[in-house]
Amino acid sequence: MTHDIDQALRDALADLADEGKPVNLAGPAIRLGERRRLRNRIGITAAGFAAVAALTAATLPWHGSGASTLPVATTSTPAATKGPTQLPSMRTGPIRLTDGWLLGGGSSTSGTWYLDRVKAQYRQSSYYTVPAPVGNLVAVNDRERARMGVLDTGNGGGNHVQWLGEKDDGSMVPEWSSDGTALLYPGTQHTVIARESGLTFTKGPACTRAPRWLPGDIEVACPTAGGLQVFSATTGAPTRTLQLSLPAGAELGPAHTWSPDGGRLVIVGSNDRGEQVPVIWDIATGATVPLTSAAGNDARTAYWVDDNQVLVIGHFEIVLFRSDGTVAATWRWPAEFADDELPNFTLVRG
Amino acid sequence: MEAHHQQEFTEFVTARTHALFRVAYALTTNQHAAEDLLQSALAKAAARWSRLTDAEAYVRKILYHDYISGWRRLRRRPETPVGVPPERRVSDSADHTVLRLQLLDVLRHLPPRQRAVLVLRYLEDLSEQQTAEILGCSTGAVASQASRALAKLRDHIHPTLEVTR
């Protein structure tokens, strides 16, 4: 880099930093900090982490989906009028949230837990992991080395990760197809879809925002300024553009989530108090339903349980919303995550 | 939070908001996202205030970690274009200003980890070692990310502007 560019980069960053208007956030931070402390006090015992599972490189075939019947920790769906239910420890075995949905794992700055369906237990890794919604595959994201791998828990129960030949750009969370056989992630040059034992890749256009599967797993969409650029998950070729007239002040968000019928999206909008919350947006009518929970609105990920219910991973809790925006159930995170900074949970079918 | 801790915390935030917000904004390039990022980091500091020995270092570390962590991104608002070009420095040549504007545009589209490395190295003027300590990675990883980011910058700027003094 020449001296000119070096200095220009320093100037550019200084200009950029000076664009913002500093706001004194002491008051809101104290209130939010108090909520964090209160949450941490509730039902928490110090649970030491077991040794982190070592994940070693190897090339192995993916076993894909393997039906198994899991012994599941007994967590009843709480009644709407009751307060949040404390989820059991990750050490108790697979945790059921609601019919057909298990806690697939959780990731935080201190490492991750993922569900090993074969062993019917959660295991730990120092990598960021995303288990497939069905089957035995787990995406393993080594953010340090910007590489993506897949662990097949059905392959003898080992810790062998097949690192994929197409590098990950390290900026976004990967997403499995709904059948758990194809992994979508942003590569360094292309959007990548890996499948068939990680030996086959479909390369789509580079996305500057997180690409997402469309319902049916046949197409993938890159968010653009005006909507979605859709491309084939098989060939990677652009197929069409979806123009979206989002509600005022709303945005798709990188984790926008389609309803099973494809008619609605969970996007980022606001509620009647002006708070940023996930909202259900009906594409045909434009109607929106804010998903506001008592414990906070820092929702990062949503899962459609069916056409009428959405599970939202919130700031402090996991919340089951009905499609009319009312809360059907609320669970507090397992104790293992109580002291972690903004863990992300993954839900899987089971 | 006890009253005296609350007072200490408020004084800390008042004194350091400008510096911390600059970092948050350089990372997010968005007013609301920067507020979100900084507020969350400060809340974590508030929750642990009595146990912190170096609050600013803690908040800075959380800022970078939270920014890089992909799972925070749903909260980010859409990026807003800069309506008015950044103020020009008096000593700039026209080429230098054009170059800086081009760099700003590319910076906004860098992956988070690469942008974080550039902010630490070129805005905060930290060494590779210090950058690695804040990001919790090796110096090799810092060098690699910086190299990739700089390569992207080079790729996207007009070649005639690469003039060595």
Residues B24-79 have pLDDT tens digits of 999 988 887 788 889 888 988 888 888 788 889 889 988 888 787 643 443 333 33
Residues A151-193 have pLDDT tens digits of 988 876 567 888 887 776 655 678 999 999 999 987 777 888 8
Residues A260-297 have pLDDT tens digits of 888 999 988 888 877 778 899 999 999 999 998 765 55
Whether residue A44 is predicted with pLDDT greater than 60 in this model: the reply is: no
Cβ neighbours of A14 in B, within 8 Å: 123
Mutation target among A3, A6, A30 for the B interface, most CBs of B within 10 A: A30
Asked if the Cβ–Cβ distance from A8 to B103 is below 8 Å, we say yes
Whether residue A215 is predicted with pLDDT greater than 80 in this model: the reply is: yes
Using CB atoms, pick whichever of B74, B77, B107 lies closest to residue A12: B107
Angle between the N-to-C axes of helices B55-68 and B128-135, in degrees from 0 to 180, rounded to the nearest 10: 70
d(CA A315, CA A36): 10
Average pLDDT rounded to a whole number, residues A193-198: 77
Cβ neighbours of A173 in B, within 8 Å: 70-71
Residues A106-115 have pLDDT tens digits of 876 556 889 9
Q: In what order do the strands lie in the sheet with A288-290?
A: A257-258, A264-270, A276-282, A288-290
Whether residue A51 is predicted with pLDDT greater than 50 in this model: the reply is: no
pLDDT value for A337 = 80
Burial A202-214 (b: 16+ CB within 10 A, else e): bebeebebbbbbb
Q: Measuring CA to CA, which residue among A210, A142, A208, A198 is closest to residue A173?
A: A210
Joined together, the tokens standing for residue A6 give 């070096």
Question: Would an 8 Å CB–CB cutoff place B151 in contact with chain A?
Answer: no
Whether residue B82 is predicted with pLDDT greater than 70 in this model: the reply is: no
Terminal-to-terminal C-alpha distance of chain A: 53
In angstroms, the separation between the Cα of residue A156 and the nearest Cα of chain B is 31
Surface-to-core class of residue A327, CB atoms within 10 Å of its CB (0-12 exposed, 13-18 middle, 19+ buried):
buried
Mean pLDDT, all residues of chain B = 76
pLDDT value for B18 = 92
The answer to whether B5 and B50 are in contact (CB under 8 A) is yes
Average pLDDT rounded to a whole number, residues B114-139: 87
Cβ neighbours of A175 in B, within 8 Å: none
Whether residue A249 is predicted with pLDDT greater than 90 in this model: the reply is: no
Whether residue A309 is predicted with pLDDT greater than 90 in this model: the reply is: yes
Task: Give the pLDDT band of residue B138 (cuts 50, 70, 90).
Answer: confident
d(CA A278, CA A317): 14
Question: Would an 8 Å CB–CB cutoff place A40 in contact with chain B?
Answer: yes
Q: Where are the alpha helices (DSSP H) in chain A?
A: 3-19, 26-41
Cβ neighbours of A4 in B, within 8 Å: 96, 99, 161-165
Tell which A residues from 131 to 150 touch B, by Cβ distance under 8 Å. 143-146
Whether residue A55 is predicted with pLDDT greater than 50 in this model: the reply is: no
d(CA B165, CA A2): 8
Question: Would an 8 Å CB–CB cutoff place A344 in contact with chain B?
Answer: yes
Task: Give the pLDDT band of residue A200 (cuts 50, 70, 90).
Answer: confident
pLDDT value for B75 = 36
Helix-strand-coil percent breakdown of chain A, rounded to 5?
A: 10, 40, 50
Question: Would an 8 Å CB–CB cutoff place B96 in contact with chain A?
Answer: yes
Asked if the Cβ–Cβ distance from B71 to A17 is below 8 Å, we say no
Joined together, the tokens standing for residue A105 give 């794992």
Cβ neighbours of B70 in A, within 8 Å: 128, 171-173, 254, 344
pLDDT value for A37 = 60
